[in-house]
Structure 1
Amino acid sequence: MKKIILTLSLLIGLTAVTFAQCEKTVELSSSKTNHLDEKGTITRSDDETAVIDISKTAVDISVNGEHKITAPIKSNTCNWTVPFKEGKTVIKATADHDGQDENITITIEGKDGKVTLLFEMESQPGDKIKVGIDKFTEKV
């Protein structure tokens, strides 16, 4: 009985930590941007600094210090087994693209301690953007 209670306590604790992580405001930083085609083949790579701020309500992206987009979040699915190392977040948002609302999907995935971000615009399936996350910071 003690083992069952201990196991349940650990599961509840891990669930609370994972859920708490998903509710936090974070800043992701990257130093290289890869552009991919629909098959996932790299078509272009750029050495540039990207900063992605994610809050409960919006995603803000800046490249080389220049603000690029603010996208209000429509939905956020978050499932991390090890905070900031193993798991996945999928964010659906809407961004202003040339005066038109554009549906975007941002997928943040951690595997073997390496975190990547994939940015996709619904209207441009042939130009996905993938970055390796160099730094993952919680903001207060």
Structure 2
Amino acid sequence: MSDDVVRSFLEASPPGWVTAELEYLRLGKTAELRANLTCPDGEVLRVATPRATSAAFRALRGAVARPGEGTWFTAGCRIDGDGRASFRFDDDGEPAFASEVSVDDALEEMAAHPRDAARTAPRLAARLAAARERDGAPGLQS
């Protein structure tokens, strides 16, 4: 599935770059995908990201999810001009969204990718507690 991320980006990216840095963030239904290309002269350009690349990241995220453990929130992918790629994943850190996410996103996340209390990051637990306080929604699995 990681090949799908790379392939979908390469098929849609403009020519002439040296490296591409992709960052995909997701919590519940909120997702962002950013892409920066480094040109031969060192200039870095932010470029539009193909929907297929976002879909490939989402599929990859779902494929590695484990009941009680959840899945990652942020993935980074570096692609060299020759198509070689490396990935990094963060399943605990706060995703650096451009805007604030809601407690509903935390509920969606736990419904889609449940985590045991011991595997739930403090900031996610805080959002879940806020949701429970707001409307009595279920919290962490024990």
Q: TM-score, normalised by structure 1?
A: 0.26
* Structure (1/2) with the larger strand percentage: 1
